[in-house]
Amino acid sequence: MERRKLGTQGLTVSAMGLGCMGMSYAYGTPNEAEAIATIHRALDLGIDFFDTAEIYGPYTNEQLVGKALRGRREGVVIATKFGFRIGDGVVGVNGTPENVKRVADESLARLGIETIDLYYQHRRDRSVPIEETVGAMKELIDEGKVRYLGLSEVSAATLRRANAVHPISALQSEYSLWERGVEKEALPAARALGIGFVPYSPLGRGFLTGRINVDELEENDGRRKHPRFSKDNARANQRIVDAVRAVAVECAATPAQVALAWVLSRGDDVVPIPGTKRVRYLEENVAALDLHLTEKQRAALEDLHHYTTGERYAPDNMALLDVYEP
């Protein structure tokens, strides 16, 4: 398994991680046994970077990841996140130092570990200076509860301010063939600061695999609320999938593998975390590490994001993003 470096503080991980959210949350009915089998298979394939968060469930995904990795902790990098106010679902954000530390302790208990390898602020709380939030995260490093720091979906300006308090090892933001907004400012800033990039949803929440029929999504599948998955928008976005499939046929690969190979080709500082709860899709995704696109194939994919129809999230969740803030 190829390894890649995230940041300047010594964090090195497998070139592809595993996003664990969908095993417990957001994408239909969970199956714990299959999820644990998927995590174990990931380990067997050389993946050592697992991504979870307090909000996934809430809480249950951290418990699942902890259960799956019990007895196999050595050499594994566990990333988790704080930053939401949780009631009946998400009721806001909370970046206060008190919440930073409270969630860390609770996440450690749920995961059954002594140290969080990579601790992200999930969404910026604009009511709390980022310096205060990251200052509390730094104190967790000093206390031995956290090893490395990350931020998710923040602007270039926020990233610079945060990094001045303590080096940030990873920026996590959505990034794929149909979502490239981070390229405008945040990703260049991260690279200038020596911060690694962890793209989530590199398969467009599954849409880029070509296997999604929006009419067949389960009633409890959160993608039903995402604008890009509305019937009209999905129909328009099929143009992107068709182009990816054409390259896949040329490569004797699947659309998912082509989409992941493209993300992996964006730089040695890029570590995508495609999520899946099924072993067969995990194995398909990992095979993308051996797929190298030609210059002509990359050119055929380069402008597909211009055809993306619909916002990334519904308005209330779009309002939580800090990426495009000046």
- Asked whether 53 and 122 are in contact (CB, 8 A), the reply is yes
Dihedral, CA atoms, 131, 134, 139, 140, nearest 10 degrees?
A: 170
**Could you give the residue ranges of the DSSP H alpha helices within the chain?**
32-44, 60-69, 97-111, 130-142, 156-165, 186-193, 231-251, 255-264, 279-286, 295-301, 315-318
Preceding omega of 58 cis (within 30 degrees of 0): yes
Place of tokens 């009511």: 127
- Asked whether 221 and 27 are in contact (CB, 8 A), the reply is yes
Q: Which DSSP helix (H) or strand (E) runs through 118?
A: strand 116-121
Helix 255-264 crosses helix 231-251 at what angle (to 10 degrees)?
80
Report residue 27 as tokens: 């994408």
Active-site residue list: 56
Closest CA to 18 of 200, 259, 173: 200
